Amino acid sequence: MEYKRITIISGHYGSGKTNIAVNMAYDLKTRRENTAIADLDIVNPYFRTLDSWEDFKKRGIRLICSSFANSNVDAPALPQEMYSITDDRSQNVIIDVGGDDRGALALGRISGAIVEEDNYDMYMVINCYRPLTRTVEDLLTVKEEIEMAGRIRFTGIINNSNLGKDTKPEDVIRSCEYADTAAQRMNLKIAATSYDKRLDKELRNKVPNPFAMELQELIPGV
């Protein structure tokens, strides 16, 4: 992956945004010293970047997130340090946005400054196995809704098509055609094809811009 100063991860609810954002932050940190991850999720109180807090600390990644994240206080709050994303241009930031247009509303608060600075990528995470984005037409709708709400345009696609723990390499390979069609229709590039790192050997040479990820287990051992 090549990174601009700001990388925005957005897309449909449950498409895998947080896992991608967390792994991108790990990746970015290996190239740029001053790396931060910003959690702007105002939709879901669960499965937040804060779940990886220990890893961020270990790796020296700054976490910008609401003090309510993972506190079980179900409040759609934004982090008070949110404006440092755009104000402090010395840092490199991965932004994890909440799902759908509702989630992208939060992004709208700072998208003006992001567009003005013009040093960003915004990736739409797609998963052809999610029931409400089965077709490219569905994706186009979601894309437009997010861009309207966030007042910013996507610059690329991350194909994160998967079936959870049951994902087989063929499932990812089979999804590439869908991702290609989506990319053509949206006139965007496929910035990455992301998958569980356990599938890396089988997929590394078979998908465009492979991006292997460490995934979190919901309930260890089950």
Partner 1 sequence: MSEKVLMKGNEAIAEAAIIAGCRHYFGYPITPQTEIAAYMAKRMPKVGGTFLQAESEIAAINMVYGVSSTGKRVMTSSSSPGISLKQEGISYLAGADLPALIVNAQRGGPGLGGIQPSQSDYFQATKGGGHGDYHLIVLAPYSVQEMAELTIKGFDLADKYRMPTMILCDGTTGQMMEPVTFDFAVKQPPEKPWAVTGTKMEREHNIINSLYLQADKLEEKNFERYERYKLVEENEVMYQEYMADDADIIIAATGIASRIALSSVEKAREKGIKAGLIRPITLWPFPKAAFAKAAEHCRQIIAVELNMGQMIEDIKLATEFKVPVSLYNRTGGVLPDVYEILGVIENAAKGGKR
Binding site for partner 1 (CB under 8 A): 13-14, 45-47, 72, 74, 127, 129-132, 134, 162-166, 218-222
Q: Which is nearer to partner 1, 45 or 156 (CB)?
A: 45
Q: Residue 97 class from Cβ within 10 Å (0-12 exposed, 13-18 middle, 19+ buried)? A: buried
From the CB of 221, what's the least distance to partner 1, in Å? 4
From the CB of 171, what's the least distance to partner 1, in Å? 8
From the CB of 128, what's the least distance to partner 1, in Å? 9
DSSP codes, 172-203: HHHHHHHHHHHHHHHT-EEEEEEEEGGGHHHH
From the CB of 20, what's the least distance to partner 1, in Å? 15
Q: Which is nearer to partner 1, 117 or 177 (CB)?
A: 177
Nearest Cα neighbor of 207 from 164, 155, 154, 171 is: 171
Q: Which is nearer to partner 1, 165 or 201 (CB)?
A: 165
Q: How many CA atoms lie within 13 A of 177 on its CB side?
A: 5
Q: Which is nearer to partner 1, 115 or 163 (CB)?
A: 163
Q: Which residues pair with 35 in a beta bridge?
A: 92
